[in-house]
Amino acid sequence: MNQHPNNQSSVKNSDNKSPPVSGPLVAATLAPVLGFYTLMISHHISRVSKALDQLVHAYGYWIPGSLGNGPDGSIGSYSGKETLALMVWFLSWGIFHFLWRKQELPVNRWITLFLGSLAFVTLCLFHPFIDPILMLLLSTGG
Amino acid sequence: MSTEQYLHGNLAKILVRTQAILALLILLLLAGLDFFFPTNYSLQAGLHGVSAISAIVAGTYLTHRAYALIRGVHVNFKSLRYWVLGSTALNFLGAVSGNWIYMRYRGENGPRDWILKNAPDFHNYMMEFKEFVTLFPFPLMAAVTFILFYYGDDIHVRRDLTQFVGITILVSWLFLLIGFVTGLVLAKLHFV
């Protein structure tokens, strides 16, 4: 894990410094993916019942426009989903960056995982794809 | 180089720049004229449209820089850092103004009510998808900006890292384009 997987990485740069490690890059790109999954999961949770929607909404009261009605409207529980996603994004970024700031992680493997997880979360936000699966899960869960 | 060759080279450069500036100005009118539309929400609509188009233009330009990163050819990292920073700021503005216009979308007798009554699939499938994927470009470009500033020019010795940055720019652009097209479709269906 602490070896540089890239063939160019063993080359010292012009200032004779060691080449940079990949840990901070992996931390910076994993954190938004976790934020996107939080967005997706909180969205589907809020669709289950009014009570769960209000629970998610409560996290977003701090955002201007989260409450209101009439022609001007409000963004409703979308504010809570954004807040939860922001919390997971920043918190996980801070933690992973601290843990991996000096660590070499396999970037080539992470590219595949990164793209795959982005494709999957995007599909899970597309209702014609995810709704039959959610209905099945809800019916088997009682 | 002969004087004739120099003039022709310069002419091409002037034409390219003029074309780019004119294209940008004309494209901006697509949403910039929203500021003058007869609605109480013209400010929100104009701001969101202009920031979305600007983000698309910056994001599309950055895809050209991304291929240089992926191919591993010489890259001016100083200029790239400022471009990704600008793109991140535009994506942030797009997300914030999107929240602002979304309030009216959901408001009484707003676009959502009209679409649910007349063409519900556009809300249930398209808008419910668009409202989330349009949030993706900002964190992705924020990560790219952080990476380029954090590593500095030293990143050039790690081809795998520069490739990853290039791929992330391309992915961010894809989500930006999806959001832009779906947003335009919904605005065409029923304006705020």
pLDDT tens, B105-163? 999 999 999 999 999 999 999 999 999 999 999 999 999 999 999 999 999 999 999 99
The radius of gyration computed from the CA coordinates of chain B, to the nearest angstrom, equals 20
Number of structural domains found in chain B: 1
Residues of B in contact with A120 (CB under 8 A): none
Cβ contact, residue pair B107, A73, below 8 Å? yes
Interface of B with A in 93-112 (CB under 8 A): 99-100, 102-110
Cβ contact, residue pair B164, A125, below 8 Å? no
Tokens of B63: 């895809």
Residue B87 has pLDDT above 70, yes or no: yes
B147: in domain: yes
Q: Identify the weakest region by mean pLDDT among A25-29, B3-7, B137-141.
A: B3-7
B133: in domain: yes
Helix and strand element counts for chain A (H, E): 5, 0
Interface of A with B in 32-91 (CB under 8 A): 32, 35-36, 39-40, 43, 63, 65, 68-76, 78-79, 81-82, 85, 89
Question: What is the DSSP secondary structure assignment for residue B109, as one 8-state letter?
Answer: T
Tokens of B124: 């249930």
The nearest CA of chain B is from the CA of A69 a distance in Å of 6
B118: in domain: yes
B10: in domain: no
pLDDT tens digit string along B9-44? 789 999 999 999 999 999 999 999 999 999 999 999
Tokens of B11: 């002419």
B13: in domain: no
Residues of A in contact with B157 (CB under 8 A): 8-9, 11-13, 19-20
B74: in domain: yes
Domain encompassing residue B170:
34-189
Amino acid type, A131: D
Tokens of A76: 């409703």
B27: in domain: no
Cβ contact, residue pair A39, B131, below 8 Å? no
Tally the residues of chain A: 142
Nearest of A2, A20, A1, A23 to residue A11 by alpha carbon: A20
Asked if A35 contacts A85 with a C-beta cutoff of 8 angstroms, the reply is yes
Query: What does the pLDDT read at residue A11?
Result: 44
Strands in B98-138 per DSSP E: none
B23: in domain: no
